[in-house]
Structures are given as structure tokens and as C-alpha cells.
Amino acid sequence: MKIVVLDGYTENPGDLSWEALEALGELKVYDRVSYEESPVIAEIIGDADIAITNKTPISKATMDACPNLRAIAVLATGYNVVDYAYAKEKGIPVMNVPTYGTQIVGQYAVGLLLEICSHYQHHSDTVKAGKWENNVDWCYWDFPMIELYGKTAGIIGLGRIGRTTAGILNAIGMKVLAYDSFESEEGRKLAEYVELDRLFAESDVIFLHCPLFPATEGIINRENIAKMKDGVILINNSRGQLVVEQDLADALNSGKVYAAGLDVVSTEPIKADNPLLTAKNCLITPHISWAAQAARQRIMDITVANVKSFIDGKAENVVNK
């Protein structure tokens, strides 16, 4: 069984091991191939039976050029980099990692909010630059300090990650509202389900934890921002395409939105002309909510299990049945 990993570096920059996959077949691991459609992808897959990808696309053309390809495993939950419908036509199962980073992504979302509220790194930097030792008062702060206790958070998407975030917000004394197409008893223990317009109107902080569907694409837009409180804070470490970026940049620059904490943008890596790069009070990190070693180890473990299940004739976590 020949197995090829197309873009293994972000999953394993050297702190994990590929040994469990090596035990399942003849393995080749490439750090990077291409994040754009390219004939080189098919050349790299070659005569492999199983291709493993994170963000390298596997298209219809690639599959047609690789007649030995029998299965595709994705080192992530999202699998839109694969033409999974065409893979189904060809009898190629596409397997993903359905859950691996629930806790760390929720933690990261709240971490973005806490940085906006207290500017930890900025103040640490100013202390090290000598500002505190030379300050006429015994303390100082360069930004408003925001207390979250008693404020209202709105979560759009109360799935596993949304519920994790809600639990943390409950613990720090925030009221939590939620909007989700599918309500659950577990969710009701953590938040009050409301209509979307009420969530926009009452929330001091809005978290995006929803999938990218046609109904949610661009959900943060000029019209919906106008429904929000003045000075609202937006947190998005879900999908960049949930936000109309120029509309958010305009709202940040006008002060309608006080601040945004983003770990995702519409095109990744970010483009130099993205309007959020120059917007006021916009914290952007490079899509790393998921990247804790423990979470990446879970990705590795589940991917190995997926590959083994396919080899054993009972493929698991197949998204294109």
C-alpha cells in the first residue's frame, strides 16, 4: 500500500511522528506541494493508493490523472479542498477528522477576546521598554480596560466549539445568547437560544462558531452590523468567508465595532490588500486556533485510524458516502 502526504508540515513541523502511518504502508511525506490547482499535485501522488492532504487541493483532474488512487484522507475537519462529489463517482472515499480541537479552539476564541479587553502583550512590551520604571504614577494603562463580568455574549453556532466557548464565558460571569438552526438540551444549559436579530441587538461581544454554508456566508455584513450595539466586539476563528471584510473594516474605522479578534480571513494566506490589515483595533492571527500540539496529535491519531480502517475494508469518517 503506497501512501503519500501532500502537505504535512503544518500538521507536523517536527514535533510529532509519522511512524504510525509508516507502519501501514510505503509512506512518502512532502512538507508542501501546492495550495493552488496544479499538475504537480498529480505528479506527486503518482501511483499512490492513498493521498493525505491538509490544504493541497485534490481535483477531478488530479484524480483522473492518478488511476491508482483509492482513498483520500484529510488532515482536518473541513474537506472542501477535495472534489468529494467526483471522488464518490469514482468510488474513492474521502475521510476527515470530525473533531479534534474543540477545547483549544474555544480557548483560543476567548483568548482573542481577553487580549482585546486588556492588551496584555502591549503593556508587557511597554514595561520592558522602560515606561513603567519611568512612570510618574504607580501604574498606567494605554487602552480602556474592559470587564466582561455581567456583559452579554452572542454565539452564532452552538455546536461543540460554541458550547465550549459558552462554558468559559459562563465561568467568567457573562450572559450568553445563542443562535443555531439546531437547538439542543445541552446548549440550553449554557445559553439562551434567540433569534439572530435579537442576538445582534443585545450582544456586547459576538462569536462566530458556525460552519460556512450559503446561509452563513457573509453573515457579518453592513446590514447586520447596523443592527448591533455601538462598540460591539467581534470574534471569528471559524471561517473568514463569514465576514464581508470591507464592511467590517468600515465599521471598525468608524467605531461602530470597537474591536475584532480574527484568526481567519477570506483568502489565506492573507493578501496585502485585505482591508482588515489597516483597520482600527483589529487583531489578526494566522489561522492557528487549532495548532496546539495536543490537537495536532489527535489529528494524527484519527488520520492513522482512518487509513487503517480503509485498509481493513471498513472505512470510517467518510464524508462522501
Which residues are identified as catalytic?
Answer: 239, 268, 287
Q: Indicate the SS3 state at residue 243.
A: strand
Q: CB–CB of 155/207 below 8 Å?
A: yes
**Helix axis angle, 160-171 relative to 102-118, nearest 10°?**
40
Q: CB–CB of 218/242 below 8 Å?
A: yes
Q: DSSP letter string over 135-158?
A: -SSS---SS-----TT-EEEEE--
Let me know if 246 is exposed, middle or buried by CB neighbors in 10 A (0-12, 13-18, 19+).
middle
Query: What is the chain's alpha carbon radius of gyration, rounded to the nearest angstrom?
Result: 22
For the chain, the distance separating the N- and C-terminal CA atoms, rounded to the nearest angstrom, is 22
Q: Give the H or E element holding residue 222.
A: helix 222-226
